[in-house]
Amino acid sequence: MESQKLAELEYEALQAEKRDKLNGRVQIWSLFFGLVSGAGLVSVQTGTVSYLIALYPFLAMCLARYAGHSERVLDQVKVRLLAVEQARGFTGYEIVNKLNARQRRAGSQLKAFRDAVVLSQLVATALLVLRAGPVGWYCDRAGGGDTDAADV
């Protein structure tokens, strides 16, 4: 009876871990949108502050690595849940999910996050190139950006 109770506790703990990782997806997306918003705010600033946009790709990569790690842990938890369900002869969500494997598209959330990060990095890089290139230099000078006493 003690092993049955231990198996139930393990299953509940795994379910809680799975729920935490799934809820963590919302937090990762929130961090991503906050990062994109902050990068957008920095990119419209005048002067050298706008060059902080160059940090965005590195911050986005760190967030993407964290999201990837979180998804790998979630996959491990799902595998363990499946093993517990199979060992106990219990038809739970993981067994049903495995039986319907042809109908589901695994990894779509991670693919969507990857695509969003790559697209935002390209936009941030393009903004940095435009800001640093001759067009950006001209816009800073003509638009009343930072001017030195020697420029006047």
pLDDT in tens, 75-119: 899 889 888 888 887 777 777 777 776 665 566 888 889 899 999
d(CA 39, CA 57): 10
Rounded-to-integer distance, Cα 46 and Cα 23, Å? 38
Residue 152: pLDDT above 50? no
116: number of Cβ within 10 Å:
16
Report yes or no on 145 lying in a domain. no
Query: Is 87 a domain residue?
Result: yes
Residue 39 lies in a domain: yes
For the chain, what percent of residues have pLDDT higher than 70? 82
Residue 67: burial class (beta carbons within 10 Å; 0-12, 13-18, 19+)? buried
What is the rounded distance in angstroms from the CA atom of residue 109 to the CA atom of residue 104? 12
Cα–Cα dist 120/90, whole Å: 44
Quote the number of domains for the chain. Answer: 1
What pTM, to 2 d.p., does this model score? 0.71
Domain enclosing residue 29, as ranges: 2-138
- Please calculate the CA angle 121-127-130 and round it to the nearest 5 degrees: 140
Residue 147 is assigned to a structural domain of this protein: no
Cβ neighbourhood burial of 30 (10 Å; 0-12, 13-18, 19+): exposed
Residue 84 near residue 31 (C-beta atoms within 8 A): no
Furthest-apart CA pair in the chain: how many Å?
87
Which pLDDT value is given to residue 103? 60
Whether residue 143 lies inside any domain: the answer is no
Which amino acid makes up residue 31?
A: L
**73 within some domain:** yes
Q: Of 48-52, 83-87, 131-135, give the lowest mean pLDDT range.
A: 131-135
Q: Is residue 144 assigned to a domain? A: no
In a domain, 80, yes or no: yes
